[in-house]
Amino acid sequence: MTRQPEAGPYSSACRHSDSLPVRQSGEPAVLFSHLGRGSTALVLTAHPDDEVFAHGAAIAMLSRQGSRVVLRTASGGKAAENDVTSSAEARRRRSARLDAACTRLGVNEWNWLAEGRRTDTAGRPTPGSLTTASVSDLTEVIADQIQTIIPDVVLTVGPDGLTGLPDHILIHRAVAGAAASCDDPVFGSYLLPADITQGRDLLATIPSW
């Protein structure tokens, strides 16, 4: 299992932007080129698997540069596991997949936000699903993680949630709010038109089932 981060000093000097920077093609290598051994990157996601499709390239690059990469996930992702008989088994399965993904990407440690007591929102929100969480409460939890981990950079999704999913949008709002209490640059992942075009071109090369 993962180790808990050690508490560290908190700097009250703050920098905050209402709009997180937009990623440009080829830009991560420039944005993070100054980070290396001794630096820490904090990745904040809504679900297990978001670290792969939203931040996988940046995480792998930061890890290769020698940065310590810390992941915090806000829900157990259990709603996506339809073929299991218990919530505990669904959580165990998602945790195992997340362990494997973190190993492949080079994440040094991961853990749940607020003990992962929220589940992902599948269809309409249900009691306990992530979108029923208070933005202010989630912001407070994230701010506490930032103050404890003291990252040099924070990664999350953009205001559109990358995919438009309500859980993703909520995480963006909470991270943007927590950024008011940190002295770190915060970057949100976006889909650019070129990304969509390349994805459609790739799908066109895959034979139909």
Q: Which helix (H) or strand (E) holds 142?
A: helix 135-149
Burial class (CB in 10 A: 0-12, 13-18, 19+), 182: buried
More confident residue, 156 or 163: 156
CB 108 within 8 A of CB 69: yes
State residue 90's pLDDT score: 72
**10 assigned to some structural domain:** no
Instruction: Indicate the SS3 state at residue 72.
Output: strand
- The total of structural domains in the chain comes to 1
Is 15 domain-assigned?
no
User: With a threshold of 0.75, does the pTM exceed it?
Assistant: no
Sign of CA dihedral 28, 55, 100, 198: negative
CA 93 – CA 69 distance, rounded (Å): 23
pLDDT confidence tier of residue 137, bands split at 50, 70 and 90: confident
CATH number of the domain encompassing residue 51: 3.40.50.10320
Domain membership of residue 13 (yes or no) is: no
- The answer as to whether 209 is a domain residue is no
36-48 per-position pLDDT tens digit: 888 999 999 998 8
Residue range(s) defining the domain that contains residue 166? 28-204
Residue 103 within any structural domain of the chain: yes
Q: Is residue 33 part of a domain?
A: yes
The least confident of 40-54, 59-73, 111-125, 146-160 is: 111-125
Q: For the segment 21-41, what is each residue's pLDDT rounded down to a tens digit?
A: 444 444 555 567 778 888 999
